[in-house]
Each structure stands twice: as C-alpha cells, then as structure tokens.
Amino acid sequence: MYKTFAEVKTALASGSTVLEIVEGYLNAIQQHSDLNAFLEVFESSAKDKAIEVDAKRKAGNAGRLAGMVIGLKDNLCYAGHKVSASSKILEGFESLYTATVVQRLLDEDAVIIGRLNCDEFAMGSSNENSAFGPVKNNLNKNLVPGGSSGGSAVAVSAGLCTATLGSDTGGSIRQPASFTGTYGLKPSYGRISRYGLIAYASSFDQIGPFTNSLEDSALLLEVMAGEDDFDSTVSSKPVLDYASFETIQSKKIAVIQESLNTEGIDPEVVAKMEDTIAKLKAEGHTVEFVSFPYLEYMVPTYYVLTTAEASSNLSRFDGVHFGHRSASAVGVEQTYKKSRSEGFGPEVQRRIMAGTFVLSHGYYDAYYTKGQKVRRVLKNRTEEILSQYDLILLPTTPSTAFELNAVKDPIQMYLQDIFTVHANLTGHPAISLPLGKHSNGLPFGIQVMGKNFGEKELFNFSSYLEKLA
C-alpha cells in the first residue's frame, strides 16, 4: 500500500478514489493482523468518511489531507469510538468527544481508520505492557517495535495506513520510530493541544505524528498545531509553514559528548554519529562536542516526576468515578482496591505506587521537590547550549530493536529512554530520522533537538541531513 501522502495524491490524480485507497489499507490491516498493531478498525466510519471526501473532491472543495488515512494511538479520543489506553480498566469505554488534534485532521478531510495498540497508559519502552498483548515489529516479528507507541510505529512502517498519531512522554514516539525505520516527531511542549489525550504525565505529554516522509510529518504538524480554547497550556505563537522546507545556511551544531560514551551504546550507533558529524563538517558546518554532565540524572529525574504525575492523573480510575468496577467488591474501600488491582497491569501499578511514594508525607521534598530542581538545572543547561548553537545532535536509541521478552529488569527497560527523555524534561522539540542501518539489517534513528518552538528550523535541517546521509 501507499507509504506516503505523495503516493496517495499520485494515485488520486491517476483516477483512484479515497474509498478505494481506504479499502486497500483495510485489506492490508487484515493481512497483517498477526502484528497486533490495531486494537480496532473503524471500517464503517472510515468508509463513510471516504465517500464524503470523494464527494468533496468532485465538488472541488476537499481539505488539505484528502486521501490521507490515519491511525490513532489508543489514548486519543474520537467521539463515538472506543478508547482504552490499552488497559483493562477502560475496556469497552466509548469516547463522548473528539480530541482537538483528531478534529483538526478530520476538518482537513483525513480518514481515521482505527485505534492502535500501545503500552498500557503509555507506560513502556517496548509495547509489551499492553493489556491486549504485545505488538510485533513488522521488520522482524521476534523483536519489539519500541514503546509506548509501538502500534502506531508498526502501522506506518508496514504500510497499514499513511500516517499515525502517537504520544511522547519520554520518547514514546521517537524510540519506536528508531526501531521501525520511520520518522517520529515530538513537538515543543505547548505546540499541540493535549485536549482529548488520556494523560500519563501532563507536564511531559505531547502528541506527534509517525510518517514515512519528513514532508508528511511537517504537514501534519502544520494542521494540528496552534491555540486551543480547551487547553490553556497551548502556546499562542503563530503556526508557521512547516511543510515548505527552506535551504539552510551554515549551522552551528552541538553534540552531547556524554551521549557517545554511554555504557551499553552500540558501536555502530556511535560510528553513524561520527560519520554524520564528519559529513557536516565537510559541508562547512560547525560541529562541536559540548559537555552535559547530567546525563546520568535524566532517567531517574524523569521517573520520579512522571510517576508522581501518573499517581495523580490515574487516581480517577477507581471503579467509582471512572473505569472497571470489580464484580466481587463489597463496600467503597474494596471497590477501590479490587477494581484497580484487576484493571491495572503490573507496570502501571508499579509506577502508580512509585509516584504515590514520591508524593507521600516525609518524602515529597526528598524526591519530588528535588526532582523539579534537577529538571530546572537540565532545562537551564539545555537553553544555555541552544543559545550558542542552532541545534543539538544525538542518538535516538542506544541500540536497534531488541527481542520480545528479552528485558526483564524494569530498571534496564527504563534505561532505553536515556537519549529521549531529555527533550521531554526540557520541553524542546525533537525528531528521530531513520538515517542509520545496522549490520544486523535493522534501522536506527539519529535525533535532532531544536530550540523551543523552533520546529521550522528543525524541519529545514532534517531535510538537509537526510539528503546528506
């Protein structure tokens, strides 16, 4: 099936209809059901939307995304459709409203084809924590696709839809993009509305796209970005023409020295970084190593703060206010305990308990307050670097995709996020570009981080970099 929107538009120009394109994707989804990427296919509503868009095309008033078929991570609301955050506690829940980003896609005549499997409540780095089974990497079914947006990454990589939406709290878009050879964008915090996103950690979460082309990522950001009356954290900064790439001038680029010396990083990832640096220097760009002596503190800080926010955000799912209610519970206290024990999986329970401890009396200052102070130090140092350099270059992941069930230790799994949590802690935009190819045949990403709300420059440089590579 069509991998990019450019291919879709070529097919439409040659006489294909949006309905035919949707039917093609539906067949592809059925053929690749063993990947477990889709939890539900919205066949009826997708076909209805396709017929509507075909009529608009005939009338000459179709939107910018006419013919683009998009899948949603299972934590984004779409009115009249189920959403569960891949958790038993929300199994069967049907959304009463539509997320702002989803509505903006629909308004431009995109077709929403289904909801995609993910780690439960977006908590995971492998997509093995879903209540509905793991997603398999389409490039090798014995490997993880990355998490938490594994279903979104696989659906794009396998050509089951044109693009997908994911959420990125600590790398949940960029890490799966690296493992599947796709483009994964985490915008600046506040660039895109979070209204209609089931929250994990509200000061970290950002919605972003998976695509098979940089152009599609830029176009989707352009459509989704901008102010929203339903989300007060969205910036009023103007939305730029992201999808029109400009020729770049000589750039000054920082490379975090400690990232290439990290224990456990694959030598071929380091080699690709060094090759990229050499090519940039040969083209006349200034590329310098900078010290960021806080790398070892980023993952612990991230998990202290995000688990605290998760403990608060997920407290509403208690069998009384929202979510699964235990059939065997008697009384309010039992209802709380049994409903949450039955509804939440082990990883979600682990993070809720950790976050509750962090926020508890006697430990709040020692952990949460200290974590916020460290976050400020990280942000200040990043801003200092970006005041002297245009962009930051670093790996997306320390390795290529690993085997299913290979990582048993939660701490070792958390360390998969070592290069991605940075942009979430500081709020900066970052993108994973599928520029690496390992000798084992698997892809891996190179990550570019930009200045706050500097997505235009980020895209311009990324376009240049992919041609250079």
Domains of the chain, each with CATH number or no CATH: 5-224 (3.90.1300.10)
- Write down the pLDDT at residue 463: 98
- Say how far apart CA 21 and CA 127 lie, in whole Å: 28
Cis omega (within 30 of 0) for bond into 148: yes
Q: Distance between CA atoms of 345 and 310, rounded to whole angstroms?
A: 14
Instruction: Spot the catalytic one: 3, 49, 73, 338.
Output: 73
Is 125 one of the catalytic residues? no
Three-class DSSP category at 161: coil
Give the helix/strand (H/E) hosting 257.
helix 257-260
What pLDDT, on the 0 to 100 scale, is given for residue 111?
A: 98
Out of 167, 172, 217, 311, pick the active-site residue. Answer: 172
Task: Give the whole-angstrom CA distance, residue 277 versus residue 89.
Answer: 47
Q: Which of 50, 117, 110 is nearest to 83 (CA)?
A: 117
Which 3 state secondary structure label does DSSP give 116?
Answer: strand
Q: How many residues does the chain have?
A: 469
Q: Which residues of the chain have pLDDT under 70?
A: none
The residues, ordered by sequence, that sit 6+ positions from 447 with a Cβ below 8 Å of its Cβ are 174, 393, 394, 395, 396, 419, 420, 430, 431, 432, 433
pLDDT, residue 1, reads 84
As given in the structure block, the two tokens for residue 237 are 């900064």
- Is 58 among the catalytic positions? no
Q: Are 38 and 155 spatial neighbours (Cβ–Cβ below 8 Å)?
A: yes
Strands (E), 117-177: 163-168
DSSP strand pairing (69-73 vs 163-168): parallel
Alpha carbon distances (Å) from 68 to 10, 65, 113, 133, 249: 12, 5, 10, 28, 33
Residue type, 187: P
Please, how many CA atoms are within 13 Å of residue 467, restricted to the half-sphere of its CB? 10
- The C-alpha angle with vertex 120 and arms to 116 and 126, in degrees rounded to 5, equals 80
Q: Which residues of 200-231 are buried (b: 16+ CB within 10 A; e: fewer)?
A: bbebbbbbbbbbbbbbbbbbbbbbbbbebeee
**Cα separation of 428 and 62, whole Å?**
34
Q: Where are the beta strands (DSSP E) in 117-203?
A: 163-168, 183-186
Which of 86, 87, 130, 148 is catalytic? The answer is 148
Rounded to two decimals, the pTM is: 0.97
User: Is 73 annotated as catalytic?
Assistant: yes
Distance CA 302, CA 378 (A): 11
- Alpha carbons 424 and 420: distance in angstroms, whole number: 7
8 A C-beta contact, residue 248 and residue 464: yes
In the prediction, which pLDDT does 187 show? 98
Q: What is the token pair recorded at 281?
A: 């220097």
Each as own residue / partner, the long-range contacts of residues 276-282 (CB below 8 Å, 24 or more positions apart, any chain) are 276/393, 276/435, 276/446, 276/465, 276/468, 276/469, 277/393, 279/468, 279/469, 280/251, 280/253, 280/465, 280/468
Question: CA of 70: how far to CAs of 90, 209, 216, 340, 435, in Å?
Answer: 23, 10, 11, 32, 24
